[in-house]
Amino acid sequence: MKKIFAEIGFGNDTFLSTEFEESDNEYRIPKFIKPEKIKAYYFRFWIFKKVFILSTNNGFEITKKNRNNMILYQFYD
């Protein structure tokens, strides 16, 4: 199933971008494309390798990542 992530935030090459995921392939384009139907919203905030996630689907989570980023907002279809 193809997933589309419209992203707003710091940590990527551009402030506005759209990421496409399908099977094991993933690519990003440097412009914002709003999905036709939004299934969920979530907010991710990085502090070094810890990621704090607030999601309409899963509530609040704390995870660890291998890379450092600052802020990333995402909603997906």
Q: Which two tokens stand for residue 76?
A: 């997906």
Rounded CA gap, 40 and 46, in Å? Answer: 20
**Where are the chain's structural domains?**
3-76
Amino acid identity of residue 18, one-letter, is T
Model confidence at 74, in pLDDT bands (50, 70, 90)? Answer: low
Look at the block and give the residue holding tokens 């551009």: 14
pLDDT in tens, 14-66: 778 888 888 888 888 888 777 777 778 888 887 878 888 888 888 999 988 77
Q: What is the pTM of this model?
A: 0.58
- Would you state the pLDDT for residue 38? 77
Q: How far is CA 44 from the centre of its chain?
A: 7
